[in-house]
Amino acid sequence: MIGPFALDRVRVYSASEESPCADGFYTPRTGDVAVHRDVLTDRHRTLSVLFHEAAHRVRHRGGGRWIPSPDHGDRSRGLEHMLTEFGGLLLGLLADVADGGTLPDPATPPPTPGNRRRVRQTVADDPAVPASRELAHLLTDRLPHALTAGGFTDVHDLVASTAVRPVYWNLLTRPRPAGIRRQQGVSTAWDYDKVALLANAVGVHPPVVWLASNLCEGPLHGRRRDQWGQPGRWAKQVCDLVTRACTDLEHLGGAYAAQVPALRALADGTTPAPTGEDSWQVPALTLVVLERQRLHLDNQQPR
C-alpha cells in the first residue's frame, strides 16, 4: 500500500533500553524497525505496530510521494499527519475495492544487476535517492583504483589531499533523501568546485558527480517547503550550477552532451520534477552509467 521504502529490515526483540518499547520502536540512526516478540502472537497487534512504525520511518526518511522531515517522533504533528495520510490512502483503496475494483499490485524495488557490488551501504541503498545512490556505488567502486593510482594510504588520505572537508565525501557516498536539512553544518554537496576536487581525485568527471548528487535537490532548493516539487523554473542558484555542469558536459561531448537538453528542460521548468516521482532523474542516472562504462567498472548498459 505504502511502498517498498516503508519497511526494510524488521528486528524482533524480547527486551530493550529504547523508550517506549512496549510493542515496538523505530531507530532513526539505522532506519530499522523493531517489534517485540510477544506482539508476533497476535496478527492484529503485529500489523498495528508495523503500520505505526512505518509512519515514523517514512516521515523521517521520505519516499514515494512523501518528503522527509525531522518532525517524526511520537505525539508530534508530523507523525499525526503521516498516520492520517496512511489512513486516507488505505481507505481510498478499500473504497475502490467496494466499487468493484481491485487492489493495485504491490510496488517493488527495481532489480539489482547481478554483476554489481556484493556489499552495499544501507544508507546508499535508500530507494528515495536513485541517482545519488548510484553515484555512491560508483565512487565506492572506483575508490580502490584511485587509491592505487594516486599512492594514497586510504580514503582519508585521498580526501585530505583535496583540502575539502570530509563531510563532502560523506554526503557523496552516504546520500540521504532529498530535502533533509541539518540545523547546523552542511546538508548537501552543493559547492561545485569542492565536488570537482573530490571527483578529479577519484577519476570521475565532475559534472556527473555534481548532477547525480544534487539533481534531486533541484526542485526543492531555494523554495519554501510547501512549494517543493511544484511546476516552474528552478531557483537561480540551481539554474546557474546546472548550466555550469551542462557546459562541462558539452565539452566532454558524445553521450555526455546528449543529456544536456533534458537537464536544461528540468531547470527551466519545461519538464516537471514532481515530488514522489523519480523518472525525471534519468539524465543523471544515465551519466553515472556512462562513467561506469568509461571506467570499466561493469558492463551495465544505459537505462
pLDDT at 6: 84
Share of residues in the chain with pLDDT > 70 (%): 85
How does residue 163 score in pLDDT terms, banded at 50, 70 and 90? very high
What three-state secondary structure class fits 33?
strand
pLDDT in tens, 221-277: 877 777 776 788 898 999 999 999 999 999 999 999 999 999 999 999 999 888 767
Confidence class for position 207, pLDDT limits 50, 70, 90 = very high
Q: Quick check: 138 and 297 in contact, CB under 8 A?
A: yes
Query: Tell me, what's the pLDDT at 26?
Result: 87
pLDDT at 143 over 60: yes
Q: What is the pLDDT of residue 9?
A: 78
Question: Given this model, what pLDDT does residue 5 score?
Answer: 77
The DSSP call for residue 29 is T
Segment holding 12, helix H or strand E: strand 10-13
CA 244 to chain centre: 23
Average pLDDT over residues 121-135: 63
Amino acid 265: pLDDT: 94
H runs (alpha helix) in the chain: 43-61, 77-98, 130-150, 155-162, 166-173, 192-202, 206-214, 236-252, 254-257, 260-268, 282-294
pLDDT grade, residue 18 (50/70/90)? low
